[in-house]
Amino acid sequence: MSHHEINIAVFASGNGTNAENLIKYFNDNTESGIRVSLVVTNRAGAGVVERAKRLGVPVEHITRDRFSDHDYVMGILKAHHVEAIVLAGFLLMVPDYLLKYYHDRIINIHPSLLPRYGGKGMFGINVHKAVVEAGDTETGITIHLVDEICDNGRILFQAKVSVDPTDTPEDVEAKIHTLEREHFSRIVALTLAPDL
């Protein structure tokens, strides 16, 4: 294999469906040269822990307080040769030192068409409730680079889905999960290894 392998860390706080999809995608598409070498979570009991372990990916539990410890976190990431970070339902703000070190190499997925329904408190079902309450006829996903402002960085990709008048927030969530499965891993690959 002549090209360099890119190790990524997936940061997740919850159930871990997107993290699992990313791990499986890059396991199945080895020609991308990308590998999930680490899963980082801020919640010890998060569903992502079991998913990652089942797929043989090491997991590091880093508490909110420990995230402020530059040397501790960078030591973990460097030990796993992490060259890029993908946020998959990660509910903490990324500290400035990571934004600097991984400039333009931190990718997030958000379950709305940013700039709509972004910012503090806007995650998961909260977003879908807001969409339904507003009577929106469409919603979608946004995959974007991460900067120091929540849900603000340069948009890499958006995909839309229609919202029916009868849809519940849970219905919208199911539609969003389908879009996430369809596009997230592919856009991460295109962004980090555009020459393949």
E strand segments, the chain: 6-12, 34-41, 59-61, 82-87, 106-110, 138-145, 155-162
Tokens describing residue 29: 């598409």
What type of residue sits at position 57? V
Residue 30 φ then ψ, to 5°: -65, -25
Q: Give the contacts of 153 (CB within 8 A, at least 6 positions apart).
A: 108, 144, 145, 146, 147
As a whole number of angstroms, the distance between CA 86 and CA 146 comes to 9
Tell me which H or E stretch contains 131: helix 124-134
Q: Quick one: which of 68, 21, 79 has its CA closest to 42?
A: 68
110 is catalytic: yes
Judge whether 68 and 38 are in contact, CB under 8 Å.
no
Angle formed at CA 40 by CA 52 and CA 126, multiple of 5 degrees: 90
Of 4, 103, 110, 183, the catalytic one is 110
Catalytic residues: 110
